[in-house]
Structure 1
Amino acid sequence: MRLVIARCSVDYVGRLTAHLPMAPRLILIKADGSVSIHADDRAFKPLNWMNPPCKLREEEGTWTVTHGKTGEQLILTIEEITHDSSHELGVDPGLRKDGVEAHLQELLAEHISTLGEGWSLIRREFPTAIGPVDILCRDQAGATVAVEIKRRGEIDGVEQLTRYLELLNRDPLLAPVRGVFAAQEIKPQARVLATDRGIDCVVLDYHALRGIEPENPTLF
C-alpha cells in the first residue's frame, strides 16, 4: 500500500462529474490498483475513489487514474506532497465474523423468503473490491438487493452497507441495487440513518429462524 499526503484538487470525469477543491488530503494506492482520496473525517468513507481495474499515470503536477473498462477518470492536480511512503501488508486473513452473526447469515440465506415472498438468493459473501456483501439476492420483482447482517445494528453497519451500495450500483449488470439492513436489534439512530438513505430495516428473530424447517431440505 502506498500512502500519499498531498495538497490537491480532484476531478471525477465519467457518467457524472464531481470536483473536490484544493485541500490537504490522504491518497491511498492499494496493491489491487484501487485509488481512494480521504479527508481527515468521515471515518473510513473516501471522498472519491476508483476501483480496479485502473491505471495511475503520474506527471508533474497531475496524476490521472483511468478505469480500464469504463474509461472514467480521476484527475488529481497536485500542488504539494508532504508525505509519500509504501508498505507491504501481505495477504490479509479476512474478517472473522461473530459466531451468531455468521449463523444469522447462514439461516437467512437458507430462508431468504423471510425478507419477502418470492425472494431468491444470488450468493452469500458476494465479493466486492472493499469486502464481501453478506447476502446478495433478488426481490419478487427481480431487482437486486444487498443485505448487511449484524447482531446489533448500529450506525457503522449502515455506513458499511452504504459503501457496498455505492460500489454495486456502478455495475450495470446489477444496478439498481437497494439495501436491507438486518439485525437482531437495530439502534434508533441507525434506523433513522438507514431510512434517510433509502435502506430498509429488518429485525431478525434468531430463535424463530432456527426453528424454521429448511425450504430445500437435504438428506444429510
Structure 2
Amino acid sequence: MRLVIARCQVDYAGRLTAHLPMANRLLLVKADGSLSVHSDDRAYKPLNWMTPPCWLIEEPGMWVVQNKAGEKLVITLEEILHDSKHELGAEPGLVKDGVEAHLQELLAEHITTLGEGYSLVRREFPTAIGPVDIMCRDAAGASVAVEIKRRGDIDGVEQLTRYLELLNRDPLLAPVQGVFAAQIIKPQAKVLAEDRGIRCVTLDYDSLRGIESDEFRLF
C-alpha cells in the first residue's frame, strides 16, 4: 500500500465530471491498483476513487488514473508532503459477530425468505472492495446483492451502496438490486435505503433458526 499526502487538485472525467479544488489530501494506492482520494473530515468515505482494473501513470506534477472504460482521474500535484509504501501482508478477513454470521448462514440456507423463487448464487461474493454477504437471483433471474447486519444503520446502507455501484459496472451481473437485511433497521437507515432503491428486510433470528430444512425430506 502506498500513502501519499499532497496538496493537489483532482478532476474526474467519465460518465460525468467532478472537480476537487487545490487542497491537502491523502492519496491511497492499493496493491490491487485502486486509488482513492481522502480528506480529513469524511471518516472512511473517499472524496473520489478509481476501482480496478485501472492503471496509474505518473508524470511530473501529475497523476493520471485510467480504466478500460476510458474514465480518467487526473490528480494535479502542487506539493508532496509525504510518500511511503507499506507491505501489509495477507488479509485474514473480517471476523463477524456470531449472530450476524449465523444470520448470513441461515438466510443463505432459506433464501426464499427474501421472496418466492429466489435462488442462492453464493455467500461472501468477492468484490474489489470486500465480499458481499450474499449474492442471489430473484424469480425473474435478476442479480440481488444482500448485506446482512444485526442492527441496520446508515453505515450498512452506505456499505451496500458501494457494493452495488461496483457490481453494476459488471455487464454480466447488471442490473444488480440491493437488499438490506437486519434484525433491527433504524428509521434513518430505512429512509436512506428506500431513497436509493434498496429494499429493507427485517429478519427474525428465532424464526430462521426454527425453519425445518427439507433437504433430506422424502414427502
Q: How does 1:94-173 map to 2 (within 5 A)?
A: 94-173=93-172
Q: Report the counterpart of residue 17 of structure 2 in structure 1.
A: 17
Q: Which moved more, 1:47-56 or 1:117-126?
A: 47-56
Q: Report the counterpart of residue 49 of structure 1 in structure 2.
A: 49
SS across alignment from 1:185: strand
Question: Over aligned residues, Cα RMSD in angstroms?
Answer: 1.8
1:142 CA displacement: 2.1
Q: Report the counterpart of residue 34 of structure 2 in structure 1.
A: 34
TM-score (norm 1): 0.92
Q: Report the counterpart of residue 75 of structure 1 in structure 2.
A: 74
SS across alignment from 1:105: helix
Q: Which moved more, 1:127-136 or 1:141-150?
A: 141-150
**Deviations along 1:121-169, whole A, 9 cap, x unmatched?**
1111000111100011112222221110011112221111111111112
1:22 CA displacement: 2.3
Q: Report the counterpart of residue 202 of structure 1 in structure 2.
A: 201
How many residues matched?
Answer: 218
Distance, in Å, in 2 between the alignment partners of 1:216 and 1:26 is 52
1:109 CA displacement: 0.9
Distance, in Å, in 2 between the alignment partners of 1:73 and 1:105 is 37
Distance, in Å, in 1 between the alignment partners of 2:8 and 2:32 is 23
* Identity between Structure 1 and Structure 2 (%): 78
Is 1:29–1:36's contact at 8 Å kept on the other side of the alignment? yes
TM-score (norm 2): 0.92
Q: Report the counterpart of residue 182 of structure 2 in structure 1.
A: 183
Q: Which moved more, 1:125-134 or 1:163-172?
A: 163-172
AA at the equivalent of 1:159: E
AA at the equivalent of 1:20: L
Distance, in Å, in 2 between the alignment partners of 1:140 and 1:116 is 8
Gap regions ≥5 residues in structure 1: none
Q: Which moved more, 1:209-218 or 1:42-51?
A: 209-218
1:215 CA displacement: 5.1
Gap regions ≥5 residues in structure 2: none
Distance 1:79 1:103, change over 3 A: same
